[in-house]
Amino acid sequence: MKKIERRALLCLLLPLALLAGLLLFCVRWALYGGRWASFAANRHLYNAQGALRVGRVLDRDGDVLCWVDEDGGREYYPNAAVRRATLHAVGDPGGNIGTGALVAFAGRLSGYNLLTGAYPVLGQGRDLYLTLDARYNYIAYEALNGRKGAVGVYNYKTGEILCMVSAPSFDPLSPPEDIEENPQYEGVYLNRFLSGVFVPGSVYKTVTLAAAIERIPGLLERKWTCTGSTQVGDGAVTCPRAHGEQDVGAALANSCNGVFALLAAELGEETMAEYTRKAGLTESYTVSGLNTAAGRFELAGLSERQLGWAGVGQHSDMVNPCALMVYMGALANGGTAAVPELILKAENALGFAGAVSRPRQTARLAEPATAELLADMMAENVASAYGAERFPNMDLCAKSGTAEVGGGKSPHAWFAGFLRGEDTPYAFVALVENGGSGADAAGDAAAQVLNAIVNGYS
Amino acid sequence: MEYLTALPQQGMDAWNAWLAANPQLCAWLAALGRFVLPVLALLILTGQIRSLLRVPCDPEVWACLSLPNGGTELLTHWENILGRSGSCDVALNYPVVSRQHAALIRDETGAWTVYDLGSKRGVSVNGVQVAGQAEVRFGDVLDLGGVETVLLPVPPEERRRGKRPAGVRRPASPWPGLVLLTAFQMLCALELVVAGGKDAPAAIPGAFLCLSLVMWVYVLGMRVLRRVGFEMETIAFFLSTLSLAVTASSAPAALFKQFLALLLGLGLFLVLGVFLRDLKRVRKIRWLMAAAAIGLVSLTLAMGAAPRFGAANWLRIGSLSFQPSELAKICYIFAGSATLERLFRKRNLGLFILLTGVCLGCLALMSDFGAAAIFFVTFLVIAYLRSGDFATLALICGGGVFAVLTVLSAKPYVLRRFAAWGHVWENASAGGYQQTRAMSAAASGGLVGVGAGRGWLHRVGAADTDLVFGMLCEEWGLLVAVLAVLCICTLAVFAVRACRAGRSSFYTIAACAATSMMVFQTCLNVFGSVDILPLTGVTFPFVSNGGSAMLASWGLLAFLKATDTRPNASFAIPLPARRDERTGASLAPEAAPRREEKP
């Protein structure tokens, strides 16, 4: 019997395995429970069409963008243009837009918690206030005027995103029938601002310039003469026209490819990679829990000419609009900026909001002195190249980009920058795909939104 | 019959109408139930679990051996091995004694027999050489290769020690748990009726009332028979309550059937428990049980049952359908467990391996691989307990792996079930359909659950059987679901601890095998439903909706009840006869009944 008694101890392995597995499940349950509950087949939170049947989405002023009617169906803002402009922030009924609040913040909307699950004691459903202003979204969406692109504006001190638009868009109340095949709706479910990557073109020159300021002694005293075609390494880098003799400030204002290609080649691939990484352009930010797409810069093993092109934001460079906006915010804010946020607060039935999170800061994206110098040059840009009168009452620093995309298509138009001043801590990015000249197409969209933010709207 | 159901239903309709007129009350009741039920469950089960885990499992003293050096060795089992080796029950450290010299075995009448285990120098009783076996009476001189010992009755001071009223030895009082469990059942029925709304059938309160009644009748009846241990039954009744709740929520029409199965299960539990009292009877019937196991698993094959949920393990007779393989589990354990006497007479596992092979073959033929896995693990447990031989078991495991690979190559659809394993969310509408829904529903319940009868998981196929853990999490909350699993673990720990006081290796092996079976089944069920293991379609003991499974669970519990050697705790162990006490031929625990009779 003693032997059997000893052997029986081995039988304890099975209950131990059961306990271990149970523990594993409990840990997973605690970690991923919110995600499991936010599953479109979960009838506690979703209706038969797979749409969230609890919670309201509001903008920062309290305009209700999306709510639930008595039958559990989803209702959206009365104005169709506003519905389109806020689609990628709010989400569609089918749950196809991953960055939409209905999908991304389903847990916050339902009030899901580990104690009471999908049915909080104070009732299901919360009011989720986004940091966005529907009005700015509307203005930006109208400014894009049917073209594909993205516009984002955020407060680089608090991290609140005031405007986030991605086009093309559609009306969530009447999704187009031909959404899958019509090229007009290509990539419509993608939030271009958070999840897209695009050829940056000249807006990337701000990174090249930051590296040059710190690594090339006597940069500010140098002079270059642009003939429209500059020999870099074994090949030529061309400009749209001859810029003549210029210093580095003028080269930035002219957006001279030749000068920046020479600088990039002189800095070398390692320095360029280092500064790109430092600027956060290869990083993925977490915006209220949503991960942005990371940019791609393949700088290793390039010839001098290729590195030159990469240094002016061409070659195989790809940047995410949101990451670029954060870099602009950091230039404005002495080298670091707040990480963008999309959620202002979530209130339960009693109007009680949960703990407000303090703004998170990015790592150091630029040295303070460099940032200040760059800001001055970008302000000079606005005065000399873009026209300060287009941006009334603003201390604007900006850089345009006209990014060649090949394939016989028009270049992407970029306009990125920031406002200085205590009362206007805004950084922005505007992208119009195949929009032509950056300062014109994207600059207009940015100007309209910034004008509404700074000078108000009637 | 119609009249019999019509009257309660009328009352029920009136009650439902009254509830519908008071929606505010319903909302309050629902909210109250969500929080009160888990607390009740916690109170009920912590009491029972603690009591079971605290059982000291004191060895009982059945006789003693006086040694040549003047000392005495207590015999604490019915089956004792005497020898030089330290792993013997009575270690006799003399060079003339073989490592395993002899076995001294008591039968239920109190008669002792000595078996020579092939010792070098032989065994003799009162100077007469023993060939094979011989009876030993108290006072007889037992000579082990020259070492003379005398078999003596339990010395008076040992008997007094047994009488000592040590509080911890007594099982916990069943009444608080029983009262709480009754409250739990009533509140649960109320919750289900409220959640059911206008259509709540009278069967719901009916089933729960009947369950409470059966429970009280059982406990009171056992008290009349002077039994005092009820932890296992309370746990089983609690899990059965959950089973009724799950059934009421998913298939109210099957409630009566499930209650009937519970009743039959309780009956089987009692019959089997009483049967297990007599070891001689048990020994005789083992062959019959082996035949029954084979008969039951092959029955379905012979009848050509239609496949259901991929496995053709269902047998239909008229409107009734049941799984013979569930009952075969009991027969299999019965046949596989062996007394020590048999272990020494027949050392190899040949026949048992043959039995296992036939059972597994039949199960594989009907594609019931979940049950096959359970049988295989139980086989490993029994085989290890019987032989302790790692080498043979490793060989058999290798054979098992080979068999699995063969099956997978012959029946590729089995592999498809495995394909989604670990990636269920990527296959949420195909291979991971059930698991994703189970996990989503489980998360929705939170710690306290959404309330009995308020879930949606029951609309998914096999929710009340294979995914029942998900349903528990959803409607009852993680707390109750975890408690249910802990209950099963507790039974297993109790079985292993009870070995210390095990009377015969038959009981010990059977109890360990039965709980291992339950635990492994729980593992497959729980982990399968939440994607820790592939979904195999195995039931949760006691909880899953299914008559055969309920029956089998109660049957397996009887094996466990037979190892509960606390004084008077278990009905599966005969009460000591009073005349034994007077003659002094027996034994320490006898003192207990008299203590019980005191007010």
pLDDT, tens digit, for every residue of A158-175? 999 999 999 899 999 998
With CB atoms and an 8 Å threshold, state whether A29 touches B442: yes
B383 touches chain A (CB under 8 A): no
Strands B90-91 and B79-83: parallel
Averaging pLDDT over each range in A380-384, B145-149, B488-492, which range is the top one? B488-492
Ordered by start, the domain boundaries in chain A are 201-455
Closest of A125, A106, A108 to residue A38, by C-alpha = A106
Asked if B364 reaches chain A (Cβ–Cβ under 8 Å), the answer is: no
Please judge whether B87 and A25 are an interchain contact, meaning their C-beta atoms are less than 8 angstroms apart. no
Rg of the Cα atoms in chain A: 25
Calculate how close chain A gets to B89, using CA atoms only, in Å.
6
Q: What digits encode the pLDDT tens for the residues B588-597?
A: 444 334 443 3
Average pLDDT over residues B407-418: 74
Residue B582 pLDDT > 50: no
Integer angstrom CA distances of residue A142 from A169, A448, B458, B492: 12, 10, 48, 69
Chain-chain contact of A18 with B519 (C-beta, under 8 angstroms): yes
User: Which of A12, A14, A115 lies closest to B446 in CB terms?
Assistant: A115
Instruction: Please count the other Cβ atoms lying within 10 Å of the Cβ belonging to residue B275.
Output: 15
Q: If contacts are CB pairs under 8 Å, which of residues 97-126 in chain A contact chain B?
A: 112-119, 121
Q: Looking at the complex, does the CB of residue A358 fall below 8 Å from at least one CB of chain B?
A: no
Give A 385-424 residues with CB within 8 A of chain B. Answer: none
**Interface predicted TM-score of the whole assembly (ipTM), two decimals:** 0.89
pLDDT band at B312 (very low <50, low <70, confident <90, very high): low
- Say if the Cβ atoms of B492 and A115 lie within 8 Å: no
A1 touches B at CB < 8 Å: yes
Residue A7 to residue B516, Cβ atoms within 8 A? no
The mean predicted confidence, pLDDT, of chain B is 84
Confidence at A12, pLDDT banded by 50, 70, 90: very high
Closest alpha carbon within chain B to A34 = B443
Instruction: State the residue for tokens 């079985």.
Output: B495
Inter-axis angle of helices B231-250 and B477-498, nearest 10: 150
Reply yes or no on whether the pLDDT at B443 is more than 90. yes
Give the pLDDT confidence score for residue B15 in this predicted structure: 84
Nearest to A36 among B443, B449, B523 (CB): B443
Alpha helices by DSSP H, listed for A44-180, are: 80-85, 87-90, 101-104, 106-110, 134-144
Identify all chain B residues contacting A2, using CB atoms and an 8 Å cutoff: 81, 87-89
Among A282, A285, A291, which Cα is nearest to A99's? A291
Chain B closest CA to A80's CA: distance in Å? Answer: 33
pLDDT tens per residue, range A256-294? 999 999 999 999 999 999 999 999 999 999 999 899 999
For residue B446, give the nearest of A35, A42, A113 by CB distance: A113
The whole-angstrom distance between B77's CA and the closest CA on chain A is 7
Contact B444 A19 (CB under 8 A): no
Interface of B with A in 500-519 (CB under 8 A): 500, 502, 505, 508-509, 512, 515-516, 519
Give the whole-angstrom CA distance, residue A325 versus residue B388: 70
pLDDT at B169 over 80: no
Tell me: pLDDT of A397 over 90.
yes
The reply to whether A48 touches chain B by the CB within 8 Å rule is: no
If residue B179 lies in a helix (H) or strand (E), which one and from where to where? helix B174-196
Percent of chain A predicted with pLDDT > 70: 99
Across the range A245-261, mean pLDDT stands at: 91
Higher pLDDT, B150 or B8: B150
Q: Is the pLDDT of residue B526 over 70?
A: yes
Considering only CA atoms, which of B368, B336, B371, B329 is closest in space to residue B354? Answer: B336
Kind and range of the H or E element at A154?
Answer: strand A149-155
A317/A319 Cα distance (integer angstroms): 7
Which of 444-483 (B) contact A at CB < 8 A?
444-451, 456, 473, 477-478, 482
Residues 294-353 of A with CB under 8 A from B: none
Taking residues B167-172, what's their average pLDDT? Answer: 61
CA angle A125, A126, A130 (to 5 degrees): 135
Helix (H), strand (E) counts: chain B? 21, 13
- Please indicate if any CB of chain A lies within 8 Å of the CB of B49: no
- For the sheet with B63-66, list strands across it: B72-75, B63-66, B147-152, B141-144, B123-125, B128-129
Of A25, A32, A114, the CB nearest to B532: A25
For residues A409 and A414, give the distance between their C-alpha atoms in angstroms, rounded to a whole number: 15
pLDDT in tens, B186-230: 999 999 998 888 888 888 999 999 999 999 999 999 999 888 889
Say whether residue A13 is in contact with chain B using an 8 A CB cutoff: no
Superfamily designation of domain A201-455: DD-peptidase/beta-lactamase superfamily (3.40.710.10)
Give the model confidence (pLDDT) of A81-107 as tens digits: 999 999 999 998 888 898 999 888 888
Cβ of A32 within 8 Å of Cβ of B79? The answer is no
User: Does residue B22 register a pLDDT over 80?
Assistant: yes
Contacts of A35 in chain B (CB under 8 A): 443
Q: How far apart are the first and last CA of chain A?
A: 92
Burial B82-102 (b: 16+ CB within 10 A, else e): bbbbeebbbebeeeebbebbb
What distance in Å separates the CA atoms of residue A352 and residue B386, rounded to the nearest whole number?
Answer: 64
Say whether residue A44 is in contact with chain B using an 8 A CB cutoff: yes
3-state SS, B484-517, equals HHHHHHHHHHHHHHHHHHCCCHHHHHHHHHHHHH
Average pLDDT of the residues in A388-404: 89
- pLDDT tens, position by position, B463-490: 889 999 999 999 999 999 999 999 999 9
